[in-house]
Amino acid sequence: MKIFCVGRNYGEHAKELNNAIPEAPVIFMKPPTAILKGNDFYMPDFSKDMHFECELVFRICKNGKHIAPQFASKYVDGITVGIDFTARDVQAEQKKKGLPWEIAKAFDQSAVVGTMQPLEDMSLLSRASFELKKNGVAVQTGNAGEMLFPVPEVISYLSNYFTLQQGDLLFTGTPAGVGPIAIGDVLEGSLNGNVLFTTHIK
Ligand code: ZN
């Protein structure tokens, strides 16, 4: 099982981090060990600037390669919200040196995956809306319709390089509003108004 992630998939977020709007999806991966088990995130000691990035997450339901965008919806059967925890200081250092991001984004417990919902209505691929609250205050809101690269295009693009396998997850990028977390914070992610995860920062 693998976790695909898209970077810079919302224009406003790319701008807030002073990144150019990409011409093709920016892809990175997390290993299965990145998935947070339970509801407590323990601050690792290698970062002084841990950020939340709330994202729509999709579950891949069958194996595929070279998938055309118009058939991509057949390869997803679940939707939820999650967090792509990012050690922003480590990432900035890696970016400066032109090095890969894994130690900033793929570390243990860096992927929060909310309760998976069956994806029966494929129009959600283009209109699901989500929100992240930190300590009860909304800090990020997003809608699938705002993605620079819509989900079917991302799936098609990925499948040119990687065999998609049943059970893989796809994090689709974060909208503007990312920010730091501190011990004691509570993060609550919701999809179309339903809370699908609550994560306590310890
Ligand atoms: Zn992200």
* Residue % of the chain over a pLDDT of 90: 94
Judged against a pLDDT cut of 80, whether residue 41 lies above it is answered with yes
Other Cβ atoms less than 10 A from the Cβ of 101: the count is: 18
- Residue 84 near residue 51 (C-beta atoms within 8 A): no
Q: How far apart are CA 107 and CA 113, in angstroms?
A: 15
Nearest to 164 by CA among 63, 31, 26: 63
| Residue 112: predicted pLDDT | 98
| Residue 18: predicted pLDDT | 83
Q: How far apart are CA 136 and CA 14, in angstroms?
A: 25
| Residue 12: predicted pLDDT | 86
| Residue 19: predicted pLDDT | 84
Among 5-9, 19-23, 111-115, 151-155, the least confident range:
19-23
> How far does residue 53's CA lie from ligand 1's centre (Å)?
5
Q: Comparing 121 with 19, which gets the higher pLDDT?
A: 121
Query: What tokens appear for 66 in the block?
Result: 């070279």
pLDDT in tens, 65-91: 999 999 999 999 999 999 999 999 999
> How far does residue 178's CA lie from ligand 1's centre (Å)?
9
Query: What tokens appear for 37 in the block?
Result: 């088990």
> How far does residue 184's CA lie from ligand 1's centre (Å)?
22
Backbone angles phi, psi at 125, to 5 degrees: -55, -30
> How far does residue 54's CA lie from ligand 1's centre (Å)?
7
* Burial group, residue 104, by CB count within 10 angstroms (0-12, 13-18, 19+): buried
Query: What tokens appear for 76 in the block?
Result: 């997803």
pLDDT in tens, 91-104: 999 999 999 999 99
Confidence grade of residue 181 (pLDDT, cut at 50, 70, 90): very high
> How far does residue 133's CA lie from ligand 1's centre (Å)?
17
Nearest to 33 by CA among 6, 3, 59, 54: 3
Ligand 1 is a single-atom ion; what residues have CB below 5 A from it?
53, 84, 174
Q: What is the mean pLDDT of residues 48-53?
A: 98
> How far does residue 118's CA lie from ligand 1's centre (Å)?
22
> How far does residue 114's CA lie from ligand 1's centre (Å)?
15
Mean pLDDT of the chain: 96
How many domains is the chain partitioned into structurally? 1
> How far does residue 52's CA lie from ligand 1's centre (Å)?
8
| Residue 21: predicted pLDDT | 82
CATH number at residue 195: 3.90.850.10
Query: What tokens appear for 25 in the block?
Result: 């999806």
Domain region containing 128: 3-201
Judged against a pLDDT cut of 80, whether residue 14 lies above it is answered with no
pLDDT in tens, 156-176: 999 999 999 999 999 999 999
Q: What is the mean pLDDT of residues 136-152?
A: 97
> How far does residue 68's CA lie from ligand 1's centre (Å)?
24
> How far does residue 191's CA lie from ligand 1's centre (Å)?
17
Report the predicted TM-score, pTM, of the whole model to 2 decimal places.
0.96
> How far does residue 67's CA lie from ligand 1's centre (Å)?
23
| Residue 47: predicted pLDDT | 98
